[in-house]
Structure 1
Amino acid sequence: MEFTSIAGEQKYAALVRASAEAVIGLDFDGTLSPIVDDPAQAHIHPDAGEVLLDLASQVAAIAVITGRPARQALDLGGLEEVGNAIGDAGKELYLFGQYGNERWTSTHRRVVGPRPPTGLASFERELPRALRRADAAEAHLEDKIISVAIHTRRLPDPDAAYARLLPLVEELAARHDLVVEPGRNVLEVRSAGIHKGLVVERLTEELGAGAFLFAGDDLGDLEAFDAVTALDKGGLPTLLVCSASDEENALVARADVVVHGPDGVLDLLRQLTADARALRA
């Protein structure tokens, strides 16, 4: 791991000291799972389950906060099995899907979420016209029931297609009272009023967190970074981790620690676990 400043090193040390009261928030894609062309094949890193279970013994709780549907993330991550093991250890694993619209915990083992937002069906009916206007008719559409994701990764020039689509999709979404969440070669359209930052705030209050770490990789994690920054300004020990790659480095300037992809994230979590255990030995 690479600290971005001396202050980053100091914040890591403070988090270790407060680890017993810490909540560990983790994005899924690009953080726990490598980015792949087909979202349905984005399986969690093979070492993640073991690392999360070991980490759970040293912290207050672990929360996976993702834009994916909760059920999809549970299946791709094998997180129900991980949650069972964490529960047996007397700790809790949370999973928040669709930016916090859906919630699952290892204690209450069912996904709770809202109905599709008003306007989404009309948006989807009009979307093909916008795709054609942007010369992106072959973009992959991922129906998430309460949102829709438009992926340009499979197109010949993903970045150019993304740039053409963004203003058209934003305009269309606004007409239907929806918002656009930009990501790495993906635009997600959903209802307003919920984002990863609100999950961070709610978890902190609900669990009485004494520290908070959040690790993410792209623009969809900005609100979570903002919320953790606010906690830091309020005096809570915090750590912001950027899972960077050759394709994505949007969060580097905001991070206390920069690691390389899921391998780097898991190495950091292993180090945190070891340092917290050594402190209490």
Structure 2
Amino acid sequence: MDFTSEQARHKYDAFVAAAPAAVVGLDMDGTLSPIVDDPALAHVHPDAPEVLVEVARAVRAVAIITGRPARQALALGGLDEVGEAIAADGRELYVFGQYGHERWSSSQRRVVSPRPPAGLGRFLAELPAVLRRADAATAYVEEKGLGVAVHTRRMPDPAEALDRILAPMTELATRHGLLVEPGRNVVEVRAPGVDKGWAVHTLAREQDAGGFLFAGDDLGDVEAFAAVDELAGGGLATLLVCSASREQSALRERADVVVPGPEGVLGLLRQLAEDVGLSRRRR
């Protein structure tokens, strides 16, 4: 792992010391799962289940905070079984789906979800015409129940196609009271009022956390990074981790640690668990 400054190295050491009372929050796509052309095939890295169980022993709780529907995240990550293993160690695994609108935990073992936003049905009905006018009819539309994601990754020039659809999709979403979240060759549309920063603050409060680590890779994680910075301002030991890619650099300059994609994230979590264990043995 690459620390972005000497201060970041000290923040890591402080987080290790605070780990028994800390929460580890993790994005999924691009952080635990490699980015792939078909979102339905974005399974977590093969080592992720074992590493999640390992790091959960070192901290108070682990949370997956993702734009995916919670049930989809559970299936792609094998998180139901991971949660059982974590619960057996007296720890908790949380899944906050659709940016925090949905919630699952290893103790409750059911997804709690609100109703879809009122304007979503009308947005979906008008979306095909908007995409056709933007010469993006072949974009992949992923319906999520509480929102929708339009992916350009499969198109000949994904970045250029994203530029074409962003403005008209934003206009359509605004007209129906919905929020737009651009990302790595994707535009997501969902209900306003809840984001990953809200999920971070909720977890920190409910867990009475003494520290918070968050790892993410894309624009949808900016609010989580900002929330962790706010927790740091309140005295918590914090660490921000960027799962780096060539497609997105927005988080690099805000991060304490930069790692190469999901494999790098898992390597950092392994190192964290090892360092917490060493710290405990020295006491």
TM-score range, shorter chain: over 0.9
d(CA) in 2 for partners of 1:130 and 1:197? 30
Q: Residue deviations 1:140-185, cap 9 Å, x none?
A: 0001011011001001110001011111111100000001011111
Which residue is 2:263 aligned to?
263
Q: Which moved more, 1:235-244 or 1:126-135?
A: 126-135
Counterpart code for 1:190: R
Which residue is 1:105 aligned to?
105
d(CA) in 1 for partners of 2:58 and 2:176? 45
Is the aligned partner of 1:37 residue 2:37?
yes
Is the aligned partner of 1:52 residue 2:80?
no
Counterpart code for 1:200: V
d(CA) in 2 for partners of 1:238 and 1:182? 26
Which residue is 1:211 aligned to?
211
Counterpart code for 1:207: Q
Q: Residue deviations 1:65-98, cap 9 Å, x none?
A: 0000000000000000000000001000000100
How many residue pairs match? The answer is 281
Q: Residue deviations 1:98-134, cap 9 Å, x none?
A: 0000000000011110111001000111111110121
Is the aligned partner of 1:63 residue 2:86?
no
RMSD: 0.6
CA deviation after TM superposition for structure 1 residue 248, in Å: 2.1
d(CA) in 1 for partners of 2:268 and 2:187? 29
Q: Secondary structure at the match of 2:80?
A: helix
d(CA) in 2 for partners of 1:7 and 1:213? 15
d(CA) in 1 for partners of 2:121 and 2:82? 35
d(CA) in 1 for partners of 2:210 and 2:233? 13
Is the aligned partner of 1:130 residue 2:130?
yes
Which residue is 1:90 aligned to?
90
5+ long unaligned stretches in structure 1: none
d(CA) in 1 for partners of 2:68 and 2:206? 23
Q: TM-score, normalised by structure 1?
A: 0.99
d(CA) in 1 for partners of 2:10 and 2:135? 49
d(CA) in 2 for partners of 1:48 and 1:128? 37
Q: How does 1:230-269 map to 2 (within 5 A)?
A: 230-269=230-269
Q: Residue deviations 1:195-248, cap 9 Å, x none?
A: 000000011001100000000000000000000011111111100000001222
Q: Secondary structure at the match of 1:25?
A: strand
d(CA) in 1 for partners of 2:95 and 2:206? 15
5+ long unaligned stretches in structure 2: none
d(CA) in 2 for partners of 1:246 and 1:67? 21
- Aligned-pair identity in percent equals 64
Is the aligned partner of 1:144 residue 2:132?
no
Q: Secondary structure at the match of 1:126?
A: helix
d(CA) in 2 for partners of 1:115 and 1:16? 40
Which residue is 2:171 aligned to?
171
Runs of 4+ residues deviating >4 angstroms: none
d(CA) in 2 for partners of 1:220 and 1:205? 21
Q: Secondary structure at the match of 1:246?
A: coil
Counterpart code for 1:85: A
